[in-house]
């Protein structure tokens, strides 16, 4: 699968980043994700403070600052899950029973590996996860997203698609990427 270009929400300008691309692939019980923001990345506040040698830690509230996200739902089911990744080697995973309801921290998602890279003209993050067993054998509708917080305090919201109104990554109309279940041997 090729990289997918995320669209900036029209109500959230960004003077620094001119494109965000993402990639998602399922393989067995694993999910591979990649994100890339291109532009004047010095104008964005990238969470920092942890070095790679400390590994990745779970942290709530990552969506309040610059982060990359992935949402997926089994087709025709209200339940969905969300993962968040910050360049400070922090991540989170949540399960929802329905639209913005029944949120709980997911413990059956495991971080296998992740690599953030913040450079002058691009920031990248790659991650590989073990996905929740309840989702492994199901076809998904998904959304890849980014929240970018500029040093002037403004935020821009990027996604595969946006529903009318304010940015809302949980809106199922934005889950436009089809990721079929891996073929079973």
The mean per-residue pLDDT over the stretch 26-34 comes to: 94
% residues pLDDT > 70 (the chain):
95
Q: What is the pLDDT of residues 136-165, one digit of tens each?
A: 889 999 999 999 999 999 999 999 999 999
In the structure, what pLDDT confidence band is assigned to residue 49 with cuts at 50, 70 and 90? low
Beta-bridge partner residues of 8: 158
Which carries the bigger pLDDT value, residue 144 or residue 3? 144
- Split at pLDDT 50, 70, 90, the class of 67 is very high
Amino acid 54: pLDDT: 57
- Which of 47-51, 68-72, 104-108, 131-135 has the least mean pLDDT? 47-51
pLDDT at position 153, please? Answer: 94
Q: What is the C-alpha separation between 82 and 78, in angstroms, rounded?
A: 13
> Length of the chain in residues, anyone?
185
DSSP 101: B
Domain ranges of the chain: 4-179
Query: What is the C-alpha to C-alpha distance for residues 24 and 82, in angstroms, rounded to an integer?
Result: 14
CA distance 89 to 27: 23
For residue 176, how many C-alpha atoms fall within 13 Å in the half-sphere facing its CB?
14
Q: Is residue 52 over pLDDT 70?
A: no
| Strand bridging mode 90-96 / 57-58 | parallel
Return d(Cα 166, Cα 84) in angstroms, integer: 20
CATH number for the domain formed by residue range(s) 4-179: 2.60.40
CB contact at 8 A, 178 and 25: no
């Amino acid at each position: 699968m090729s990289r997918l270009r995320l669209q900036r929400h029209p109500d959230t300008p960004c003077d620094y980043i001119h494109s965000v691309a993402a990639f998602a692939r399922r393989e067995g019980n694993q999910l591979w994700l990649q994100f890339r923001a291109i532009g004047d990345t010095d104008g964005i506040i990238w969470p920092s403070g942890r070095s790679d040698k400390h590994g990745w830690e779970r942290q709530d509230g990552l969506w309040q600052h610059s982060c990359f996200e992935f949402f997926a739902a089994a087709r025709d089911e209200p339940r969905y899950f969300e993962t968040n990744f910050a360049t400070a080697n922090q991540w989170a995973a949540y399960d929802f029973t329905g639209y913005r309801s029944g949120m709980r921290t997911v413990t059956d998602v495991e971080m296998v590996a992740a690599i953030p890279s913040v450079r002058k003209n691009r920031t990248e993050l790659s991650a590989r996860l073990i996905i929740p067993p309840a989702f492994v054998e199901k076809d998904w509708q998904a959304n890849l997203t980014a929240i970018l917080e500029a040093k002037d305090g403004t935020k821009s919201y990027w996604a595969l698609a946006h529903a009318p109104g304010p940015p809302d990554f949980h809106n199922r109309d934005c889950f436009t990427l089809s990721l079929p279940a891996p073929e079973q041997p």
